Structure 1
Amino acid sequence: MRISAQERRARLGARQMLAAPNRAETVEEVAERLVGLHATDATSVVLSARARLAEPMLAELDRALYEDRTVVRMHAMRRTLFAVPTALVPMFHAATAAKVAARERTMLLRQLASSDSGTGGGVRDAEWLAEAEREAWEALADFGEEGASSAQLSDRVPRLRETITLSPGKRYEATLRVGGSVLRLLAMDGRVRRARQIGGWASSQFRFVPAPEPQHLEGGAAQAELVRRWLATYGPGTSDDLRWWTGLTRTEVHRALGRLDVVEVRLDDGTGWSAADDTGADAAHPEPWAAFLPTLDPATMGWKQRDFCLDPAHRDLLFDSAGNGGPTVWWNGEMVGAWAQRGDGRIVWRLLADRGAQARTAVAEEAERLEGWLAERGLVSSFPAPLTRELTG
């Protein structure tokens, strides 16, 4: 079976909930169907959800993340921070986060061993780290439901005020408190979670609260479920797409595919995989749509091979050198430009491809809606692509 680039773009609009008839009612639905929302850039969670909600209200994000706590931030695929439905935390933890946490622990122990403690040269080994984690967790529990920041915990727990030196002797040498690393490790282990932001929805500073221990799932089954969910929303895609997005090894990806009912399909750029029962009927008659998507949006970051939705000549304008996608303008499943918000609140954009008068009108209308929604909220992208910098410069 062959699936064309045009058909893949139609599926993208329907399954990514970007075409108007496919919009979601709740943040939980968005986070589940997208298999998590990128959350490394704090504003991306809000703007990615906004683009897919039938009624995009900031209060809906607040409800899901902080009142009902049905969506939580956690480290998952490729050590990246995602906002995921609480019900799927065990799957993400078993499929990806547990391995990430083990690597993080090994790295932190190595940093501790190679850096002066600043407290008389005491040995900082696995036993020392376990005690620091225990003290941090117990202190955190005392703060109640509102939680505590890394700085507040460090004030309470002396061990967390100790420092580590990264890249000693190099021009980019840095000295950090242990507290931030310990909290991050506790979060990766699923023992604490990020609570409400400090300073509003665009802030990258969080309070932390204790979390219930994740339910244990078998790793292979969890990885198969993760791959199944990716295929349902992003498929068809190649093995390289799956490896890149999940962070799994080649062996793990093929083992997961072997546990699923999948078929090989021919794509314009090679051979890919699709769920055996995926007929694409949900995207048979797509409605035209335009979207302004934020940095690291799932639609931008969903595939390693993006030729079906991105002209290769535009890649270096829309992605930074590390492969992070900046704010993008979309038309009918294709990245056609970039956008930014200037200091005065204006939304500015530039189209890199001319798709006709209907596209130009729809893009302009969507820019006006976004500008009104953002109002005077200052928006700064953590990963600005070259064209984003040019627009704001």
Structure 2
Amino acid sequence: MGEERRHIAVAERRARLALRHRLAGTAHAASPEEVARSLVALHGTDPATVYLAVGARLADAGKTVAELDRALYEDRTLVRMHGMRHTVFVFPAELAAVVHASTGLAIAAKARAGLIKDLVSGSDGRLSEEWLAEVEASALAALARRGQATVNELVQDEPRLREQFTYGAGRSYESAHTVSSRLMRVLGVEGRVVRGRPLGSWTSTQFRWAVAPPHPELPPSEAQPELLRRWLAVCGPATEADLKWWTGWKVTDVRRALAAIGAVAVSLDDGVTGYVTADDIAPVPGPAAPWAALLPGLDPTAMGWQERDWYLSPSLRPALFDGSGNVGPTVWWDGRVVGGWAQRADGALVWRVLEPAGVGREALAAIETEADRLRAWLGPTRITPRFRTPLEKELTTGQ
């Protein structure tokens, strides 16, 4: 008979989440770099998410904006780039090569092929792959000269970026695409450019581009196990479905990477099989005290797993997710989502518990303390999530 698998129950999974995701008070981090390394990746589709996610985990939340700006735009110890599932993330700079090789190469090849096909067919042959190569080289040279630039600034140096072509001609979704928007996105997926300092404040969705810092080219067979190892160390145990969803890989790639790192199968509740790294078998004790947190929409913890029932009741999903599966701002109590929060136009920060079971006076007081903490460092800043969810909209309007 084979050796019996170790069982990791929900209580231990929540303990691991509290400590490894820097959410319990005693586990808060000292710097944005420490937060990013602990989580592997911070969702960057909504610029405000990065700051709010880091602020929720810093021991001194008041330093969030200044310290994150330093890490992203001065020291460049963190980099905002395309990664898993064709999504923008913020990674520790030392992971750029791993992310690019493990997930970016395959996506980039499809993105470039799609651009060339659409460019040629949508311009009746007026624009070609050779033409695009000339424009691309010119644009990258201009970007290198400027250091950072918006698309509008690059168009001044390379006017051909203004050229348009028709996407989906004759179909219901027919639209005009500009070479600049499609090309910069492809270059981003290819790891040749990264997003730079935004225009305006840290909540701005308008940003500059910068030439990507150089990094070594790794073979996918080396990069995929490394990325999976780092993520499992933070989010294990995780199921095969979780791993496939988070990475965006084929299941064969997931299984190959699991084998390469010697991942160990464990049993989860309901008889499900999960995986941990080989050095992560020992039981993990929980934090010294229960904890509360207010996390932003698209937070990497709330979006960390595909199978979420162990920390988020299915009954809460209609209120907390939009129609595309993006999570909104969430309220946490001791390892599970219990509600959501929002900021109104006048700056008032409001929250609501949707799952009252186990949420007593201690929990309500702790949640309000976290709300006060968030209010204090936001000050006059106003936050509107990029992806609006039913509860967030309801709380915002006060209805």
Instruction: Report the TM-score, using the length of structure 2 for normalisation.
Output: 0.94
Letter in 1 for 2:53: S
Partner of 1:112 in structure 2?
A: 119
Residue 51 of structure 2 corresponds to residue 46 of structure 1: yes
CA contact (8 A) 1:190 1:213 kept: no
Q: Distance in 2 between matches of 1:366 and 1:55?
A: 13
Aligned to 1:303, which of 302, 305, 325?
Answer: 305
1:37 aligns with 2:42: yes
Q: Which residue of 2 aligns with 1:134?
A: 137
Checking the alignment, whether the CA contact within 8 Å between 1:41 and 1:204 is kept in structure 2 is yes
- How many pairs are equivalent? 387
Equivalent position SS for 1:338 = strand
1:81 equivalent in alignment to 2:82: no
Judge conservation of contact 1:93–1:214 (CA < 8 Å) in 2.
Answer: no
Q: Which amino acid aligns with 2:76?
A: R
Give the letter for the 1:206 counterpart: F
1:254 matched to 2:255 = yes
Paired residues of 1:132 and 1:182 also in contact (CA < 8 A): no
Question: In the alignment, is residue 61 of structure 1 matched against residue 68 of structure 2?
Answer: yes
Computed over aligned residues only, the root mean square deviation of the Cα atoms, in angstroms, reads 1.5
Distance verdict in 2 for CA 1:24–1:280, change over 3 Å: farther
- SS of the residue 2:302 aligns to: helix
5+ residue gaps, structure 2: 1-5
Alpha-carbon deviation of 1:362?
0.7
Q: Is the Cα–Cα contact under 8 Å of residues 318 and 328 in structure 1 kept in the other structure?
A: yes
1:298–1:93 distance in 2 versus 1, CA, 3 Å: same
TM-score normalised by the chain length of structure 1: 0.95
Residue 357 of structure 1 and its aligned partner are, at CA, apart by 1.1
Report the Cα offset of residue 29 of structure 1: 1.3
Deviates more, 1:296-305 or 1:126-135: 126-135
**1:171: Cα distance to partner?**
5.4
Corresponding residue of 1:392:
396
Letter in 2 for 1:2: H
Question: What SS does the corresponding residue of 1:377 show, helix, strand or coil?
Answer: coil
* Aligned: 1:328 with 2:354: no
Aligned residue in 2 for 1:383: 387
Tell me how far apart the structure 2 counterparts of residues 168 and 368 of structure 1 sit (CA, whole Å).
Answer: 52
Alignment-derived partner of residue 101 in structure 1: 108
Aligned twin of 2:233:
232
Instruction: Supply the distance in 2 between the matched residues of 1:167 and 1:367 (Cα, whole angstroms).
Output: 47
Whole-Å separation in 2 of the counterparts to 1:151 and 1:33: 36
- Of the three residues 353, 366, 374, the one matched with 1:370 is 374
Over residues 358-388 of structure 1, what are the superposed CA-to-partner deviations in whole Å (9 max), with x where a residue is unaligned? 1111111111221121111111101122111
Q: Which residue in the other structure is 1:22 paired with?
A: 27
SS in 2 for 1:313: helix
State the percentage of identical aligned residues: 48
Q: Any conservation in 2 of the 1:112–1:164 contact (CA below 8 Å)? A: yes
What corresponds to 2:290 in structure 1? 288
CA deviations on 1:14-43 (whole Å, 9 max, x unpaired) are 000000111111111111111110000110
* Equivalent residue, structure 1, for 2:3: none
SS at match of 1:215: coil
Q: Which whole-Å CA distance do the structure 2 matches of 1:280 and 1:346 have between them?
A: 44
Amino acid at match of 1:133: E
2:354 equivalent to 1:352: yes
Q: Is 1:8 the counterpart of 2:45 in the alignment?
A: no
Q: Distance in 2 between matches of 1:284 and 1:338?
A: 24
State the one-letter code of the partner of 1:188: V
Q: Which whole-Å CA distance do the structure 2 matches of 1:338 and 1:74 have between them?
A: 28
Structure 1 spans left out of the alignment, 5+ residues: none
Answer with 25-34 or 302-311: which moved more. 25-34
- Whether the 8 Å CA contact 1:27–1:60 is kept in 2: the answer is yes
Alpha carbons 2:7, 2:267 under 8 Å: kept: yes
The offset of 1:219, in angstroms, is 0.3
Equivalent runs, 1:139-178 vs 2, <5 Å: 139-144=142-147, 147-170=148-171, 172-178=173-179
